[in-house]
Copies of this chain bind each other. A is one copy, B any other.
Amino acid sequence: MRFVREILKDVEGYTPGEQPQGSNLIKLNTNENPYPPAPGVLEALRNLSADALRKYPDPLSVAFRRACAQRYGAPDESWIFAGNGMDELLAMVLRTFVDPGDTVVATYPTYSLYEILCVLHGAKLHYVDLDDDFQLTPDFMSASGRLCFLTRPNAPTGVAAPREAVADFCARFQGIVVIDEAYADFAADTCMDFPDRFDNVIVMRTFSKSFSLAGMRVGTMKAQPQLVREFLKTKDSYNMNAASQAAALAAITDYDHMLASVAKVCATRQRLREALVARGFRVPESQSNFLLAHWNGTPSAKDIFQALSAQQIFVRYFSARRLENALRITIGTDAECDALLAAIDGILGAAK
Contact = CB atoms under 8 A, between A and B. Distances in A.
B238 A241 contact: no
A52 B215 contact: yes
Interface string A9-52: 00111101101000000010010111111000110011010111
A334 interface: no
A97 interface: yes
A99 B7 CA distance: 9
A45 B42 CA distance: 9
Interface in A63-102: 84-85, 87-88, 91, 95-100
Nearest to A215: B242
Contact of A214 (B1, B32, B55, B214): B55
A8 B241 contact: no
Given A46-B46, A96-B4, A244-B243, A54 B37 contact: yes
B242 A216 contact: yes
A36 to B, nearest CB: 4
Contact of A53 (B6, B37, B87): B37
B54 A215 contact: yes
Contacts of A37: 50, 53-54
A213 interface: yes
A176 to B, nearest CB: 5
Contacts of A131: none
Contact of A216 (B208, B212, B243): B243
A50 B57 contact: no
Interface stretch (A226-234, A270-278, A297-305): A226-234
A239 interface: yes
A236 interface: yes
A84 B84 contact: yes
Contact of A230 (B8, B57, B85): B8
Interface in A146-189: 175-176
A120 interface: yes
A236 B5 contact: no
A267 interface: no
A211 to B, nearest CB: 9
Nearest to A245: B215
Contacts of A230: 1, 4, 8
A59 interface: yes
A260 interface: no
Contacts of A52: 215
Given A97-B4, A98-B5, A243-B241, A88 B215 contact: no
A32 B56 CA distance: 8
A240 to B, nearest CB: 8
Given A8-B234, A52-B215, A56-B214, 11 more contacts: A4-B96, A7-B99, A36-B51, A36-B54, A37-B50, A42-B53, A45-B48, A53-B212, A54-B213, A215-B243, A216-B242
28 contacts: A3-B97, A3-B175, A6-B99, A8-B233, A14-B237, A16-B56, A17-B56, A19-B59, A34-B54, A35-B54, A36-B50, A41-B53, A42-B53, A45-B46, A45-B48, A53-B214, A53-B247, A54-B213, A57-B217, A84-B239, A85-B236, A85-B241, A87-B237, A87-B238, A100-B100, A120-B234, A215-B241, A217-B239
The 4 A-B pairs at the shortest CB distance, nearest first, are namely: A36-B50, A215-B242, A243-B243, A13-B233
